[in-house]
Amino acid sequence: MIQNSTLKTIFERRSVRKFKSKKISLEAIKTIVRAGQRAPTACRMETYSFILISDNEKRKQIIQKTVSHGPTREFMEEAPIWILICTDFARQIKFLEIQNIKNDFNETSKFMLGIIDAALAAENMVLAAESIGLGSCFVGSIWTAPKLLAEILSLPKNVLPLVLLCIGHPNENPSPRPRWPLKVILHENEYRMPDDESMEEYQTTRENWNVNYPYKLPRELEQKIRKEWIELGFNI
Ligand SMILES: Cc1cc2nc3c(=O)[nH]c(=O)nc-3n(C[C@H](O)[C@H](O)[C@H](O)COP(=O)(O)O)c2cc1C
């Protein structure tokens, strides 16, 4: 395989869930966020915002009200840096408004562009953190309470919280975790479903994994999230 320093960072990255209490410099944080901004962005709109959450009261409220998974709570409490990754159309809409340009955003483009832009930026941030010796882990469950986050963090309409990125100095050194073999995920010209043997092989790499977590959202919770998305301007 080809090797260089960028690929080394990519291939050695793994989620880190134990952090030292050591602080992280503002310069490091700004570098990570700037790296996020360098990701490709549809129509150069940068439809994202990143909220650094440093206030302990706000952190506590978010943990208590959005995260039930014990081990996730633990590393959230340890992580010195929390960056909430949001899709943000509010800034772009205002930018167009002040130029008297009517915005043509529709629900489909807001959904697709917003999520793709923010996700690409988020991964750049993860890799930037890794490249300067920091560890990180995402927290997905925060998206189950979009309105609560909007209230706590004063998010305007058309800003949607997607995922939280926790960053810190690693206090563990796990190995990179297995992935599907390339022959299974890389298709040429047509999709080919993996054979049973590949499925069984893969299953052996996934011990301790609870298939139900976190996808089994209770029906009422799913309905609540969808309603809140609409109230926040995303009719997804
Ligand atoms: C959208 C998203 C949400 C995630 N949420 C959590 C989480 O709430 N708790 C957690 O421990 N890990 C979380 N993770 C990390 C994944 O579990 C991890 O990336 C996956 O197990 C693969 O491991 P690796 O990152 O070490 O390769 C999340 C990752 C993503 C992309």
pLDDT tens string 112-145: 999 999 999 999 999 999 999 999 999 999 999 9
Return the percentage of the chain with pLDDT > 70, whole number. Answer: 96
Report the residue among 72, 138, 209, 211 best suited for mutation to probe ligand 1: largest number of ligand atoms under 8 A from its CB.
Answer: 138
- Whether residue 210 is predicted with pLDDT greater than 70 in this model: the reply is no
Q: Answer whether 158 contacts ligand 1 (Cβ < 6 A).
A: no
Indicate if the pLDDT at residue 49 is higher than 60. Answer: yes
Domain boundaries, the chain: 12-231
Of 49, 22, 59, 74, the residue nearest 125 (C-alpha): 49
- What three-state secondary structure class fits 88? strand
Residue 31 clears pLDDT 60, i.e. is over it? yes
72 Cβ inside 6 Å of ligand 1: yes
> CA 47 to CA 65: how far, in whole Å?
27
The mean pLDDT value for 143-172 works out to 97
Is it the case that residue 190 has pLDDT exceeding 80? Answer: yes
3-state secondary structure the chain: CCCCHHHHHHHHCCCCCCECCCCCCHHHHHHHHHHHHCCCCHHHCCCEEEEECCCHHHHHHHHHHHCCCHHHHHHHHHCCEEEEEEEECHHHHHHHHCCCCCCCCCHHHHHHHHHHHHHHHHHHHHHHHHHCCCEEEEECHHHHCHHHHHHHHCCCCCEEEEEEEEEECECCCCCCCCCCCHHHHCCECECCCCCHHHHHHHHCCCCCCCCCCCCCCCHHHHHHHHHHHHHCCCCC
- Ligand 1 centroid to Cα of residue 136, in Å, is 10
Which pair of tokens denotes residue 160?
Answer: 């949607």
Mutate to test the pocket of ligand 1, among 15, 125, 141, 210 (most ligand atoms within 8 A of CB): 15
Mean confidence (pLDDT) of the chain? 94
List of residues 6+ apart from 171 with CB closer than 8 A: 16, 18, 19, 20, 78
Q: Evaluate whether 170 touches 12 at the Cβ level (below 8 Å).
A: no
Is ligand 1 within 6 A of the CB of residue 79? no
Q: Is 31 in the pocket of ligand 1 (CB under 6 A)?
A: no
User: Is the whole model's pTM more than 0.85, yes or no?
Assistant: yes
Judge whether residue 207 has pLDDT over 90: no
Residues 6+ apart with CB under 8 A from 212: none
Q: Are 53 and 153 in contact (CB under 8 A)?
A: yes
**What's the CATH fold of domain 12-231?**
NADH Oxidase (3.40.109)
Instruction: Check residue 135 and give its pLDDT.
Output: 98
Q: Other CB atoms closer than 10 Å to residue 9's CB: what's the count?
A: 16
Q: Does any ligand 1 atom lie closer than 6 A to the CB of residue 18? A: no
Token pair of 177, please?
A: 């975790």
Task: Look up residue 55 and give its DSSP letter.
Answer: -
Indicate if ligand 1 lies below 6 Å from the C-beta of 140: yes
What residues are paired with 170 via a beta bridge?
19
CA of 219 to the centre of ligand 1 (A): 23
Task: Report the C-alpha gap between 134 and 13 in whole angstroms.
Answer: 10
